Amino acid sequence: MTPYHEARKLAGGVNPIAVVLPTTNSIMSAALACQVRGEVDLVGESSNPAIITPPQMLTRTTQGLRPDCVIFTDQILSPPNATVRLKADIGDYFISPVEMILCLKYQYDLVVWIGREYSVLKAGQQTAETICSSVNTHFAAAYQLGSQWLMRESQNLRKSDVREHGARTRISLIRSLAMNAYRFDAPSKFDEAMQKIDRIERNWEDMCNAASASP
Amino acid sequence: MLPVPLLEAVGAPIKLLRKRSKTLERLLKTPLTTADERAIASACGESGSSRIGDFYYWYYQKLITAHAVRSLDGPRALALIAKLDKTNYRPAQAILQQTSGVIVAVPHHHHYILAIIALARQLSAAKDVYIFYGDPKTHPGNEVFDHLSGLVFDEGRVNVIYDNKNGLSKALRCLRSGAVLFILPDVFRDESTTFHIPFYGRAMRVMLGTATLARKTESIVVPAVAVSSGGMSFQTKFLPEIHVEQTSPERAKLSDYTVTRALFDSYETVMRRDLLCWQNVRQHMLTPPKFDELTAEEIDRIIDLLPSDPALLPPICVVECRLPA
């Protein structure tokens, strides 16, 4: 039985399900086979055209379609798609809101792989905290897979300090590109450009401090 | 230990290697990662080499030179340096004729330590000379500089200044009094104070400190690069001096950036052939490959879009998942 079919059986009921699974070779092969048969949509961030992004999945849902789906949440790392900051014992990191939106808004039951078993989160009985807590447990279990877990090395990218370093680098690079562009001729527009970058940097630092301090 | 020329001849076949050798890496105390291997291949491409053996041979040369210099007493170490040094010092006369301070900016390239020692000794006959580098207490590995300076410089002729708050004040005072200060501008102490410049087309982080010191003290900057002169020998290439224009406080950073770019642009003209001999080559060749030379109009448009960059937006929510203490 594939992980999807096992999850479908566990969830029972009439609601569509979203199954959160880690990216391993065997799980990926089984999920792709289910997708080819039209049983599920696959959600993640991948160059594989069979896998759709969270916004594409949510677009389908808003169009009235509510297909069962497998979410490879471990692949969803990019700032546009991983927008929920989770405060965990291992440090703050970012996850996708797709599980929360599907469960809290579109009545999906969530079936989350947490190692040797699954955690079933029935729609209508959940909060953002219970869903995030389950995703947090999912990641802890995925680390136990060792080298089988294909996304293991990339997980650093969701850590808040790595994100902040990336953002700081981006601001610094843009400031340097501006200096480079204006280095032989610096009209008053150069001062305006520098002031704009300083303002953006200050706002971003305030935002980081606020996110770090809350809730 | 065998004489250096003999060791050089013994190791020469290393250059012919075209494939990685983990045994050799172990012997050279330079284990490479797959990423390092890619970086070295890129550097080989820049310098027109096709063999990883060139990289290994440079590490071999470095290792035996360092070992030889460390195992000799002062006069013998100086004799070895003199034997390896093929520099034409005539261009250095211009430094001696300066009445202002002079910053000799030397990148961590080829036998840069030997080049600094040789040049500092030459200049110290007529000028106060200082060498500026990270305090070994905070920069492990720099003890070798301390060891060598004690060994090869006559007391009081060449002095060391550590890169800290007191050291910076001292460097400013020395330059204002017309001294020569050696500085290594291709490393940084604090990433948050760096800027990006293009170097071999890739974005590189640099501090603007060399240019700032020159501006504040009205000193000139002399770029000098140690390059190979065949076999184990080196020569110091003196590049056109850079004069720093005085500017308004609002434009000081821009002026420092412009001078720093000019400095590294000049390095590019002589380092390409021996790029593998640059201490930062692996790290630099791994960075994203392009530094886009944008126009003012293009960068203005990007700055306007920056506030909506997803990487700079706040999280849509923050959720507490920590277990209660």
Residue range A75-111, pLDDT digits in tens: 999 999 999 999 999 999 999 999 999 999 999 999 9
Alpha carbons within 13 A on the beta-carbon side of B29: 4
Q: How far is A33 from chain B (nearest CA, A)?
A: 34
Of A79, A179, A190, the CB nearest to B195: A179
Does position B293 have pLDDT exceeding 80, yes or no?
yes
Q: Rounded mean pLDDT of chain A?
A: 94
Does position B231 have pLDDT exceeding 70, yes or no?
yes
**Inter-chain residue contact B196 with A170, CB threshold 8 Å:** no
Nearest residue in chain B measured CA to CA from A169: B192
Report the 10 Å Cβ neighbour count for A154.
13
Taking only residues 48 to 77 of chain B, the set having a beta carbon closer than 8 angstroms to any beta carbon of chain A reads: none
**Inter-chain residue contact A174 with B321, CB threshold 8 Å:** no
Does position B2 have pLDDT exceeding 70, yes or no?
no
Give the mutation candidate from B244, B318, B323 for the A interface (greatest A CB count, under 10 A): B318
What pLDDT shows up at residue A215? 65
What is the pLDDT averaged over residues A182-186? 84
Report the 10 Å Cβ neighbour count for B177.
10
**Inter-chain residue contact A173 with B309, CB threshold 8 Å:** no
Q: Cβ contacts of residue A76 below 8 Å, gap of 6+? A: A43, A44, A45, A54, A82, A95, A96, A98
Nearest residue in chain B measured CA to CA from A133: B321
* Three-state DSSP state, B100: coil
**Inter-chain residue contact A89 with B323, CB threshold 8 Å:** yes
Of B251, B294, B321, the CB nearest to A186: B251
Q: How far is B134 from chain A (nearest CA, A)?
A: 24
Long-range (24+ apart) CB contacts under 8 A made by B271-274 are B271/B107, B271/B109, B271/B225, B271/B227, B272/B46, B272/B47, B272/B200, B273/B47, B273/B48, B273/B227, B273/B228, B274/B47, B274/B58, B274/B109, B274/B110, B274/B227, B274/B228
Exposure string for B91-121, b = 16+ CB within 10 A, e = fewer: bbeebeeeeebbbbbbbbbbbbbbbbbbbbb
What pLDDT shows up at residue A3? 93
User: What residues in A contact B294, CB-CB < 8 Å?
Assistant: 177, 180-181
- Highest mean pLDDT: which of A182-196, B72-86, B261-275, B311-325? B261-275
Does position B87 have pLDDT exceeding 90, yes or no?
yes
The β-bridge relationship of strands B234-238 and B220-228 is antiparallel
Contact A142, A27 (CB under 8 A): no
**Inter-chain residue contact A129 with B319, CB threshold 8 Å:** yes
What pLDDT shows up at residue B227? 96
What pLDDT shows up at residue A17? 97
Q: Rounded mean pLDDT of chain B?
A: 90
**Inter-chain residue contact B196 with A177, CB threshold 8 Å:** yes
User: What residues in A contact B320, CB-CB < 8 Å?
Assistant: 87, 129, 215
What pLDDT shows up at residue A134? 97
User: What residues in A contact B323, CB-CB < 8 Å?
Assistant: 89
Contact A119, A112 (CB under 8 A): yes
Which stretches does DSSP call E strand in B213-254?
220-228, 234-238, 242-243
